[in-house]
A and B are shown apart, each in its own frame.
Chain A
């Protein structure tokens, strides 16, 4: 009913934004087709924001398509499922698509070619399930935001304290140049998107749903309008094309006029956003019982012979996709995952497709101009005029360049969404976004180090405390021992003296007795035999004298 009236919804505007050349019709002429089954799939354990998943199968195990092979670790995490049937041949470090070109832990599956599904079921009557159980199913299916960030979806679909939310926004904006995977999905599978939308709406208990599509995708707009005709609380809204409208906070502003607080989430103002691809994945998970094992990827750029969208199993090497689309690896000047505004350059073509790979842009020198030399900032303010977050990029640049980390935070560096508008318009060709990323990384590193040094300080203080305590204890022990020892020797000495004295007394007494005996004997002999007086007198006196001496 409502749709026929074609009500015009009031839209708001966010400040800034740019209009880079669209380049979208390069890849929209062919429908989405499935990519060929690869022989070897490399699945990084960290394809989402949060903690990496933890393997639950071992090397050598046979796995079936859709089987969970790594489980989430912690709250912010997502499981990983085998995209096809085969054997786990390795769990180890492999290069992953990441701007650093570093390697990370991956599981490698050798496909058996059968593509045999594990037993799986559709969820019947999902609307009878409590929202929390529904969210759990979404978590088990490994669904993360497919728009590019890869945040685990079940967390987003949790209204938290608010119990119910006002507006659920389905993001079909796809504002980045070149990328068309959402556009084609909306054109071809509007029913899947709708049914996913209804599930998410149920999980969130959302009052109204808005589907936002930029006006450069009229076919997708018509398809979704038709699909949602019968739903009064779902509205498909056409928004004027402007980069970076697909960014969540900017889209919320455009549709509702409300600004998401800088340090908060859309949820704080009663809004939740989800990508149309995520909605389709939710539909697959609930109505088919299929976890997230594949996604649509736009293969485009001038180095590709027949650019189009493929439905790709996760873990498929990009090189195979490029070859399937008649790409010429030698012509690639720059290989980008994502779009030209926010994507990152890859260092090699044999990296696997992961959950956040929305586009592989195999660009030649004609597609993307070479980096131009950086000139001094002339403070023209073009960056500030285009910044959709209203920052002052030239001030941020100045302080990032000179690594003044306090100042960059004062100028709200962390509100920067790295959309690239400032760098795009800069007449001095300053890679502003890279300066900001560098400064952010520096601050994070510094915070990590600070945390580490705080721990070290506490541990060192404890160490010192412990050492001091141990020392004290040892000292105390020693003291006790010494005291005990001292006490012993003192007693012994006293005893010894006593004994000596005793001995001396005894000795004296015995001597005296002896002397008396002698005297007795002498007296008796004198009296009896010789009566020699003088000698007897001397002898008789002698002992008395000696005992006198002794007693002195």
Chain B
């Protein structure tokens, strides 16, 4: 009885030491988690997550202050990617942060533009060209569709239009041959 106890305790101590040793010896350097989270975010910089941009949101997630379901532009893909990264369960998008909408791009109705530069100041990625009293225009390729320029425009000349699919961006749909449908 005593010998068994002793043996077990000895084993426990040995393994404990072994574990402790390997924890020190094989310590994995902490990855820059914020970078990794930030890499999963869509970088629309729209602020719908209630943080002033994607990186602050990433930092908040890393600190545990924000949840992973606050990014409407990233949608389900981002939530799943974050869940994978952080080893959590995916959850549906928090409706308080907005809803998943098709991707859009800002278009300025140029005749109406008065050249006030308010939208230029609002754009988080400098995707609007123009100067004071000059007509402004959106570089569609750079636009993230964040909506932030719509509000400041005093003459309401900015529209968010959905990005249309062309044959270059088209992709094959998920096969739809479910058994239930067939039978």
Contact = CB atoms under 8 A, between A and B. Distances in A.
Contact of A374 (B125, B165, B177): B177
A460 to B, nearest CB: 5
B171 A459 contact: no
A459 B167 contact: no
Interface residues of A, number: 38
A444 B43 contact: no
Interface string B33-71: 000001001111100000001100000000000000000
A453 B173 CA distance: 23
A104 B168 CA distance: 9
Contacts of B127: 459
Given A96-B167, A102-B165, A460-B124, A455 B142 contact: yes
B23 to A, nearest CB: 28
Contacts of A435: 174-175
A373 interface: yes
Contacts of A457: 38, 43, 54
A372 B123 CA distance: 51
Contacts of B38: 457
Contacts of B182: 372-374
Contacts of A445: 169, 171
Given A375-B179, A431-B177, A454-B43, A462 B126 contact: yes
Interface string A440-474: 11101110110011111101101110100000000
Interface in B105-154: 123-127, 142, 144
Interface in A102-144: 102, 104
Contact of B175 (A102, A372, A374): A374
A374 B179 contact: yes
A100 B165 contact: yes
A459 B126 contact: yes
B14 to A, nearest CB: 38
Contact of B178 (A374, A442, A446, A454): A374
B172 interface: yes
A457 B58 CA distance: 13
Nearest to B124: A460
Nearest to A373: B182
B104 to A, nearest CB: 13
A460 B142 CA distance: 10
A448 B165 CA distance: 14
Contacts of A372: 182
Given A373-B183, A374-B178, A460-B125, A99 B43 contact: no
B166 interface: yes
A456 B172 contact: no
B177 A463 contact: no
A460 B179 contact: no
Among A46, A431, A434, A460, residue most surrounded by chain B Cβ atoms (within 10 Å): A460
Interface in A169-217: none
A464 B126 CA distance: 10
A99 B167 CA distance: 9
Contact of A453 (B43, B53, B124, B171): B43
Contacts of A454: 43
Contacts of B26: none
Nearest to B142: A459
Contacts of B45: 456, 460
Nearest to B126: A463
A459 B53 CA distance: 12
**Size category of the binding interface on chain B:** 20 to 34
Contacts of A431: 175, 177
A375 B178 CA distance: 8
B126 A466 contact: yes
Contacts of B124: 460, 463
A460 B53 contact: yes
Contacts of A102: 165-167, 170
A456 B165 contact: no
A302 to B, nearest CB: 24
Interface string A54-70: 00000000000000000
Given A98-B167, A102-B167, A373-B179, A441 B172 contact: yes
Contact of B172 (A437, A448, A464, A466): A437
Contact of B42 (A98, A375, A444, A449): A449
Contacts of A96: 167
A549 interface: no
B175 A438 contact: yes
A489 interface: no
A100 B179 contact: no
Nearest to A431: B175
B75 to A, nearest CB: 11
Contacts of A464: 53
Contacts of B123: 463
A551 interface: no
Nearest to B42: A453
Nearest to B177: A374
Contacts of A371: 177
Nearest to B168: A46
A374 B41 CA distance: 35
Interface string A506-520: 000000000000000
B177 A373 contact: yes
Interface of B: 38, 41-45, 53-54, 77, 123-127, 142, 144, 165-167, 169-175, 177-179, 181-183
26 contacts: A46-B167, A96-B167, A98-B167, A99-B170, A99-B172, A102-B167, A372-B182, A374-B182, A375-B179, A435-B175, A438-B173, A438-B174, A440-B172, A448-B169, A452-B144, A456-B144, A457-B38, A457-B54, A459-B125, A459-B126, A459-B127, A460-B53, A462-B126, A463-B123, A463-B125, A464-B53
In the A-B complex, the 7 residue pairs with the closest CB atoms: A441-B171, A373-B182, A456-B43, A437-B172, A453-B43, A459-B125, A100-B170
